Amino acid sequence: MGAKNHCIVMPDCEKEDAINALIGACFGSTGQRCMAISVVVLVGDTQKWVPEIVEKAKTLKVGPGHANFDISPTQSALHLKHIERLIADGEKNATLLLDGRGVKVEGYPKGNWIGPTVIDNCKQGMACYEEEVFGPVMNIVRVDTLQEAIDFVNSNKWGNGSSIFTKNGHTARKY
């Protein structure tokens, strides 16, 4: 079926709560769940939060799934190559802020390891945005208004769900 779940982030939301939730929603379960948020649509002044999002993602630890780590291995070597291909597309066509490729975990040399990855300035038409990642990769899209965000999300062919961070009831109803 495919999924490209989006989350719109409005400037009036609680910044720390939103960033923490986005990190969990994108990177939890190694991003390998149907409802993972893989696209963060930053509206207006929330675009200034990107460095804090990246710093929070850098704190996540990669390790074996049977232990208490934030990110465990991907489901297969083939899927790891798919994720790495999409990261390479983001590096070429967008702005790669945090590169999770090449992670090594001591004692597990053959693991399908990928660390948290953040790709900024994603646009329609880029493979990193258009294709389902199913891994710990956050695509960031920047827009100026709620309507631009809604139009952007609605123009994507994928999606199981979408969400919004806001404190404004009118904004939530419009969304």
Q: Is the dihedral of CA 124, 56, 103, 110 positive or negative?
A: negative
**How many other C-beta atoms lie within 10 A of the C-beta of residue 102?**
9
Active site residue 34: yes
Residue 30 DSSP label? G
Show the domains of the chain with their CATH numbers: 5-174 (3.40.309.10)
User: Rounded to an integer, what distance in angstroms lies between the CA atom of residue 82 and that of residue 131?
Assistant: 10
- Helix, strand, or coil here: 143? strand
pLDDT of res. 65? 86
CA distance 135 to 30: 6
pLDDT, block means (10 residues), the chain with 175 residues = 87 98 96 93 98 98 93 95 98 98 95 97 96 96 98 88 96 96
pTM of the model: 0.96
Check residue 2 and give its pLDDT: 67
Give the per-residue pLDDT at 1. 57
Report the distance separating Cα 145 and Cα 3, nearest Å: 24
The active-site residue out of 13, 34, 122, 128 is 34
